[in-house]
Amino acid sequence: MGPAGFNASNHPYNLVIYSGNGTGLIPTSPSDGGATTVTGYVQGPASIYADRPTILNYACGDSTGNNPAYAVSGSQTITAEALDSAHIVPDKQDVVSGDTVTFTVQVSWSNNIHVFGAWRWVSDTTTNNTTWTGQCWQSTSCKAVVRERGHAELDQILVEGNITLAARSLVIAVVPPQLLVDCAGSGSPRGSTVTCHARPYPSSESFSVSGWTFTSTAGDVVTRTANQSDSTWAGTLVVDGRIDVTGVVAGQGKAGTANVTVTPRDWSGKAVRSTHATPGADVLPVRPDSFSQLGRTSMWMLVRPDPQNYAVVITDGGPNDSFTYMTDIPFETFDTARVNYPAMAQGSDWYAIQYAQDTQVGGTTYCGQGRVLTLPPLVEAHEGTDPPSEPNSHVGIYVNDVNRLAPEPSEALAGKNPNPEPVRAPIDNAAFADSRAMDTDSRNNIVLPCVFIYDYSRLH
């Protein structure tokens, strides 16, 4: 806008800012080039004008325009900014009927505020029972006992001495008081800590807690027995369920609830403890009466007798207090792979009753004695004397099946006195059925083109 005027009496050539309606004369712009910014306020809507109404003689030279008396330089910046209106800000927006709300006039760009108007309550309902309380006259803050949905209004708010504004608050909602529960840690792996906080809604309401309970999806109920009035209940969580809290909010008895869940831990890498025995022939008959008596495998799946090493009873006073959960697979397998070596030895009675070579009699091919001697490694692999290298043996199939089937349901064994037997039995039976099925399916490693003789009268 060019230079400031002269710093002389009546400020010749200075810049004057004024609003279009003439009511808001902006303070005279400073003549001093080093002056700070000056600010003026105009009530809108208005247009802003700038002018240099004071003439300085000879400033532009003589009548011919030559020989000006002064040479000036410099610049000024004029900024016009639309300012926000006044606001009425409540200290809470959701209230219980009868709550006191404090409303405060706020103008973001000025603290020079004077209230000349009257505070008014505008109801959004058919009732209008909200009342103002305390000293509101000419006050920038006022309290109301709110009893229905509505908002506050105020006019004649004088700002900076010449701006008169009106304002209205946000809507104040009247809600029923509630007791809410938030649980951090829900959805974490089984055995993690869950922390539940009780809080009132609206949050500004007074509240107290009188009790906590946890109800598992299986129906077990855990009642908090210590520090029942704490607003926080935390502890190890091992089963899904529901947290219930009771208490008083805004003078009313209330109950809150929250569902909590656990996620399974990854137990895919866990193995069932296994004991393997190879007692040779044990008491298999040295004179087998059928091919099945060349070997026999016994398989057991038992509940481990050392619960202190695989189960934990929770004693933290939390939602799952007294519940048990597993830290390892609670089962173990025992297997015994017997191989009837004496029967399959050269010179045994069974060896002796076979034909010398493979022999066809009628429509049947009988195995020769040489085949007897080839049987031990086949029977070993069939029964499973070295299960890791014999996955299709009776032992290998059984143990691998148990290892495949046991981790997931074992991991989920949790709650009040969880019973492992309903988990154990189906796994045991399924693994054994699979193991036994091998005898008649493609996994069977013993397929001979002939049959053996079991008639010991041939020794006679």
CB atoms within 10 A of CB 44: 13
Q: CA 420, 422, 424 angle in degrees (round to 5)?
A: 65
Q: Which is nearer to other proteins, 104 or 322 (CB)?
A: 322
Nearer to other proteins, 72 or 446 (CB): 446
Residue 288 tokens, joined: 């087998």
**1 lies in the binding site for other proteins (CB under 8 A):** no
Residue 156: its H or E element: strand 150-159
According to the binding rule CB under 8 A, does residue 383 interact with other proteins? yes
**CA dihedral sign of residues 134, 136, 139, 145:** positive
Q: Judged by CB under 8 A, which of 226, 283, 347, 442 binds other proteins?
A: 283
Asked if 459 touches other proteins (CB under 8 A), the answer is yes
Beta carbon nearer to other proteins, 143 or 382: 382
> Contact with other proteins (CB under 8 A): which of 66, 73, 126, 290?
290
To which residue do tokens 């049947």 refer?
364
The strands making up 192-201's β-sheet, listed across from edge to edge, are 178-184, 192-201, 232-237
Which of 299, 311, 402, 427 touches other proteins by CB under 8 A?
A: 299
- Decide if residue 413 touches other proteins (CB under 8 A): no
Number of shown-chain residues binding other proteins (CB under 8 A): 70
Q: What is the distance between the alpha carbons of residues 330 and 328, in angstroms, rounded to a whole number?
A: 6
Q: Cα(68)–Cα(63) distance, rounded to whole angstroms? A: 10
Of 30, 200, 235, 295, the residue at the interface with other proteins (CB under 8 A) is 295
Does the footprint of other proteins cover residue 300 (CB under 8 A)? yes
Contact flag: residue 444 with other proteins (CB under 8 A): yes
Cα–Cα separations (whole angstroms), residue 105 to 143, 149, 157, 168, 385: 12, 20, 9, 9, 89
Distance CA 54, CA 75 (A): 18
Identify the three-state secondary structure at position 256.
strand
- Give the x/- contact pattern for other proteins in 356-375, rule: CB under 8 A: -----x--xx----------
Q: Which is nearer to other proteins, 313 or 459 (CB)?
A: 459
394-405 and 369-383 helices cross at what angle (nearest 10)?
10
Binder of other proteins out of 37, 57, 73, 460 (CB under 8 A): 460
Site of interaction with other proteins (CB under 8 A): 215, 217-223, 282-285, 287, 289-303, 305, 334, 336, 338, 349, 361, 364-365, 379, 382-383, 394, 416-417, 419-422, 424-425, 428, 432, 435-436, 439-440, 444, 446-460
